[in-house]
Amino acid sequence: MSTGWGHHLIIEHLRKTDKCRSILYNIAETTSLFVSSVTAFELLAGATDTAKQKDVHMLLDGVAVLPFDITSAEEAGKIYRELYITNTLIEIRDIFIAATARANGLAIMTLNYKHFERVKGLKLIRGNVK
């Protein structure tokens, strides 16, 4: 299985004392993992000290970071219009993440299921905290 994953799952992993109990740890061997460049931005912006920045870089070094390219931008425009028309907008960063996943044919595993389920045609996998 191939899946993109959101910053909530990475934060959950980074905060766990026992990393073996994190969702990422448990899916890493059976799943091809990707992260969007927008997710990378969110993580790096939230890494407030050198140790946290190092942890984020170590995780990002182990996965493919998908760019927010023109195909993703086109998908983001479609998603934005769909959500705007139905008055169900979500944060622009989440639209960019959803667009990147949709443009690359990937599912998103997230703990923020409520927002992403508003995006039509987006494959979602619920992340369950153990």
Nearest to 96, CA basis, from 37, 27, 46, 10: 37
What's the CA gap between 110 and 5, in Å, rounded?
Answer: 6
Report the share of the chain in percent with pLDDT over 70.
Answer: 72
Report pLDDT digits (tens) over 8-17: 556 665 665 6
Tell me the mean pLDDT in the region 3-30: 58
CA–CA distance from 92 to each of 3, 83, 96, 130 (Å)? Answer: 21, 11, 6, 29
Tell me the mean pLDDT in the region 53-73: 90
Residue 39, SS3? helix
Residues 6+ apart with CB under 8 A from 115: 90, 91, 94
Question: Which CATH superfamily groups domain 2-126?
Answer: 5'-nuclease (3.40.50.1010)
Q: Give the domain ranges of the chain.
A: 2-126
